[in-house]
Amino acid sequence: MADLKLDHIGIAVQSLAEGAAFYEALGLAVGGTEEVSEQRVKVAFLQIGDTRLELLEPTSADSPIAKHLEKRGPGLHHLCVRVDDIEAVMAHLAGAGFRLLSDEPQVGAHGCRVCFVHPKSTGGVLLELSQPAVP
């Protein structure tokens, strides 16, 4: 549990180009885009200091991001904390009674293994745990 980092901040957008326009004007650069089929999103990452912004555009109407846009419009979606051993963190949190959105890690961007923690368990913030893929 020791080495935690803020991996990225997830922001729901209607389109990556539209969503990136402000941040590019601010001076950030889109480092790459990727389709994450398991989550039914296209993502773009913009490096900012030691962390990144992750813009998320839905690729289908049943995407969790499409539902978020419908209910709340574009904006902040989740925080992502990078962990060394996602199974251990998941077991620890589940054992302490916190609600995870999946029983097993799922595949996220860059082949990371990810799991979301329900906002009801975190004080209102959807929180993504992410363990980077072994290079």
Binding region for Co ion (CB under 5 A): 10, 54, 80, 128
**Residue showing the smallest CB distance to Co ion in the complex:** 10
CB 11 within 8 A of CB 58: no
Alpha helix (H) residue ranges in 27-85: 64-72
In the complex, least distance from residue 80 CB atom to Co ion, rounded to whole angstroms: 4
DSSP H or E run through 117? strand 113-117
Closer CB to Co ion, 93 or 115, in the complex: 115
Report the alpha-carbon distance of residue 58 to residue 36 in Å, rounded. Answer: 10
Residue where the block lists tokens 């935690």: 4
In the complex, least distance from residue 131 CB atom to Co ion, rounded to whole angstroms: 13
In the complex, least distance from residue 54 CB atom to Co ion, rounded to whole angstroms: 5
Closer CB to Co ion, 10 or 105, in the complex: 10
DSSP H or E run through 16? helix 16-26
Closer CB to Co ion, 57 or 95, in the complex: 57
Closer CB to Co ion, 57 or 128, in the complex: 128
CB 114 within 8 A of CB 128: yes
In the complex, least distance from residue 130 CB atom to Co ion, rounded to whole angstroms: 7
Closer CB to Co ion, 10 or 74, in the complex: 10
Q: Beta partners for 26?
A: none
In the complex, least distance from residue 9 CB atom to Co ion, rounded to whole angstroms: 8
